[in-house]
Structure 1
């Protein structure tokens, strides 16, 4: 706004602005200033308003109520809905201007037609939806960025595990990765190595579950007699040593490993001079090592050397979001590998999403490749499932208990299940809305509603 000065000798001056509907009245209720667009709501010009009393205009029905008396009485900002002779609704805001004595000397009011506010409201709602979509897209981009080398990070517990590992990766401290077989422990170990200060060094894996006890020292330390037998500790020098299945190492061999890690040196078989141990240790275990220590099944000193930062990877049965992404990932991967175009029917997709996958990643990968190569049509259906994975996939409404449940409550239960299944199948609320035949804001509203039941 420009040209607005409350000078005593400028009562007939029109406020020099074309952008806002502004009127200024004095303490007696007479209009002393008005912008060029003032009066448009009342069917009169700004010039005709100057010098008029708001009390008289109110009596004539030009508008109702007059805001000046309200501001004078309350001596503060006042907002009212005003009705004009044409029946329009106008939102009026009145602001008091005080003199040195603390009395209201002028009242400045500005107005917006309610229909204009509705347009602004609709615009804000539209903007809100666009922001919601943008947040969704940003979330997807972040998730895609976190899918590193087969490590899928959709589930919250997986995200926490990855963040813990990533924060510890550059610190060169010992890390233990816990999880069932096939939960991605080796992949996590490789990610930690790639994000560490030793990323340019070797990554050497020792699988204690498959290593024969008799070969323990020769495998780890190497042999002075055989120049071709370089120990894994030597190969890992300057890099990362991954102790896979450290909980499977027999107790008497744990003592030998503990001594090596404490002294940070080892001696090859048949040698006299020890070599320095310069490795970063990452271990994996299917059992909680603290419990193994309490049961005297794991050496306590080795536990303290290895267990600096624990990382826990949950099984797939507890990571349904990761399962959804893995199914889509391996469907595309094996379709491309075998030069086929395959899709999953909805019932097969939902069945696979809700399956417990006791074999975790290995089992899921196996099933997905079998489905790709064995199905005879483009759409993979229930009959394509291996017999041991096949079951009735139709909806079973017997899961909804009728006794004591009202029809609205039952309908809400069905709607909630459909929405959650759609969440598994589709990545955005826009896709969900298209498939379900409702608006995207409705999908967002319903998801928010049912989130309270989780």
Structure 2
């Protein structure tokens, strides 16, 4: 240890012209009893201590005299790199430390003592750790036979703790230790056999001398049973080596093992099939012979020296073989590479099989996609009918989009079936087992929309549930969330939606803790979002975040060839629902195909249900159609009854027809409420009553 390790850097310094009284104040302020005196170049010229000041006080001398008149001028100085041992015998209490004649620190007696005790404690701790880490039993006694040291191995062998043994006579703990004889004779005794707790030990006992005085003795015991265990372990290693040989030889791949310098120690028979070398001819040779053959790469030759990581490479031999080799280092207890195990595999045939498998996998995925598309186009479901080229093209895209998790923006006029397309994407995705949550952004009052989407904590606002509520994003975790009428979302919520799409986290109203959600987002709208972006009604960044994959659902007027299929489909469903057996005449269907259908598929479905329910006969004819189709009814006679019925039922029938017509002509709940001059909540409530909410797409 050196002076620089224990010195106090930047010590308090005094100047020779400073009055002694000022120096005394410096001592009091800094709590010191001495300080070096330096000149203007910080060179040590003296040392002033508390003793100098006390001497002046006791002699009643003038305290205003300069420090230079009372200081000690002969000062022992040290250098930062000096060893502490050079100063242990000095009687000086303070040693200024200088570098190139300039003071950089000071060492006091307290520093020396602290360094000494630190060194003593460290050495004592290290010695104790070494003794306890020793596998052999160690017991030491003083000249009276009192146990002064016992290690952990001795505690285990004697079944006694150090606290119980230390300070007791050795005869009380180990009567047959032999240490008392060593103390008596002062001679070493080696290879003495003793028994402790039914275990045999070999004991070596040595006296401890301090000069000519015997001050104790120490015994070191080796458990003989461990030697037997070593013998058994050697036999186990032998058996293990035989098993290892069998494993190496049974490998279909070529295996060989080298030392860290690349010399081959062992090789199996499979290596000959791949390389052409007999294993016996390879043992003892350097791996360079395989490098020249093209079996392994050049970096394999220096693997044990240059790296401690496994190395893998593909080689092509001059004969055209594709060889995959892997070298894996084996380390000793010190982390040094001792062996390298190489695995050599002929990849030629495997590569051909892999190529065939990849082709088969690609064909399988292609056929699976085609089958799903065909199923949707021709088999259909209880809701999906495809009968036009435009819809077939759309369905093909829907199936492909279903295989990924990208965000999809579904556009199209009101009533074209955007919600059905979204549900089809979900049903053909990996999330099909998860929830499919549908939210109509235009059907929820604006002041409730945020809490419905993101949820809220208990007490977030007046009327909130005591336990809080999860929002639609959390409900859709692991599945798909369809945000219909996304163009109706207020600007302040557009910002929050964008943040959710970017971070995949939602924060409930009234909370500061975000919740991680894993939901695929599908959005739908019948509005022109690009135009809304230009008019600052819709955020541009949110538009591009939603419009990753755009899907356009064509209106019914652009796929009129589907009208007969759709009519038959709806007739079947409604007949089953009301246990009827009605149908449309071919002439009536022809009339329907000439109509432009501003309300699209939803308008067609509602019309079919109305005509089947209100028509008195089993066949819906042309004259049963409403006036706009050229039928025989008038605007005031759309509601038909076959007799007297309760007024409430008649009112509900009229309400339902008005709402159906309004939903076919207007885009949002707020627009419908404005047209009918009622609150939006009234529209939502009555639409739910008549089962019209699910048709809002």
Using the size of structure 2 for normalisation, the TM-score is: 0.35
Deviations 1:311-361 (A, max 9, x none): 111111111122121011112222333333323233212001222121112
Q: Which residue of 2 aligns with 1:265?
A: 505
How far apart in 2 are the matches of 1:216 and 1:189? 21
Query: Quick one: structure 1 residues 377 and 287, their matched pair in 2 at CA, closer, same or farther if it must change by over 3 Å?
Result: same
Gap regions ≥5 residues in structure 2: 1-370, 459-465, 633-697
Structure 2 residue 481 is the aligned partner of structure 1 residue 241: yes
1:187-198 superposed matches below 5 A: 187-198=420-431
The structure number with the bigger radius of gyration is 2
Query: Residues 304, 391 of structure 1: CA spacing in aligned structure 2 closer, same or farther, 3 A cutoff?
Result: same
What does 1:194-205 correspond to in 2, within 5 Å? 194-205=427-438
Is the Cα contact below 8 Å between 2:611 and 2:625 reproduced in 1?
yes
Match of 1:155 in 2: 388
Please name the residue that 2:614 is paired with. 374
Give the 3-state SS of the residue equivalent to 2:469 in structure 1: coil
**1:101-250 equivalent positions in 2, closer than 5 A:** 145-225=378-458, 226-250=466-490
Change in CA separation of 1:386 and 1:293 when aligned onto 2, cut-off 3 Å:
same
- Deviation digits for residues 266-317 of structure 1 (CA, Å, limit 9, x no counterpart): 2112223211131101000112323322332211111121111111111111
1:414 is matched with which residue? none
* Distance in 2 between residues matched to 1:222 and 1:335, nearest whole Å: 40
Structure-2 residue corresponding to 1:314:
554
Secondary structure at the residue paired with 2:403?
helix
> Deviation of residue 220 (structure 1)?
1.8
CA distance in structure 2 between the partners assigned to 1:379 and 1:238 by the alignment: 47
Query: Does the 8 Å contact 1:146/1:153 carry over to 2?
Result: no
| Aligned residue-pair number | 254
Q: What secondary structure, in the 3-state scheme, does the structure 2 residue paired with 1:310 have?
A: strand
State the alpha-carbon separation in 1 of the partners of residues 400 and 420 from structure 2: 16
Q: Provide the alpha-carbon RMSD of the alignment.
A: 2.3
Shift of 1:228: 4.5
The C-alpha deviation readout for 1:138-177, integer Å capped at 9, x for no partner, is 9xx8676352341221111111111112111111000011
Which of the two has greater strand per residue? 2
In structure 2, what is the Cα distance between the partners aligned to 1:274 and 1:149?
40
CA separation in 2, counterparts of 1:215 and 1:378? 46
Q: Which residue of 2 aligns with 1:64?
A: none
Taking structure 1 as reference, are residues 295 and 384 closer, same or farther at Cα in structure 2, changes over 3 Å only? same
Contact kept? 2:557, 2:597, Cα under 8 Å: yes
Deviations 1:76-125 (A, max 9, x none): xxxxxxxxxxxxxxxxxxxxxxxxxxxxxxxxxxxxxxxxxxxxxxxxxx
What is the CA–CA distance in structure 2 between the aligned matches of 1:343 and 1:260, rounded to whole Å?
49
Q: Where has structure 1 moved over 6 Å in runs of 4 or more?
A: none
1:209 is paired with a residue of what secondary structure?
Answer: coil
Contact 1:149 1:187 (8 Å CA) reproduced: no
More relative contact order, 1 or 2 (CA 8 Å, 6+ apart): 1
Flag structure 1 segments of 5+ consecutive residues without an equivalent: 1-137, 393-454
Is this contact kept in 1: 2:450–2:493, CA < 8 A? no
Q: How far apart are 1:390 and its partner, in Å?
A: 2.9
Quick one: which of 580, 587, 590 aligns to 1:340? 580
Paired residue secondary structure (2:524) = strand
How far apart are residue 192 of structure 1 and its match?
A: 0.5
Secondary structure of 2:527's aligned partner: coil
The 1-side partners of 2:438 and 2:447 are apart by: 18
Instruction: Point out the more displaced range, 195-204 or 207-216.
Output: 207-216
Q: Distance in 2 between matches of 1:390 and 1:155?
A: 26
In 2, the alpha carbon distance for the partners of 1:260 and 1:366 equals 37
Could you tell me how far apart the structure 2 residues matched to 1:235 and 1:265 are?
A: 13
Q: Kindly indicate whether the alpha-carbon contact (under 8 Å) linking 2:376 and 2:384 is maintained by their aligned counterparts in 1.
A: no
* Cα distance between partner residues in 1 of 2:391 and 2:410: 12
Shift in alpha-carbon separation, 1:336–1:219, aligned structure 2, 3 A:
closer
Q: Is the 8 A contact 2:377 2:392 kept in 1?
A: no
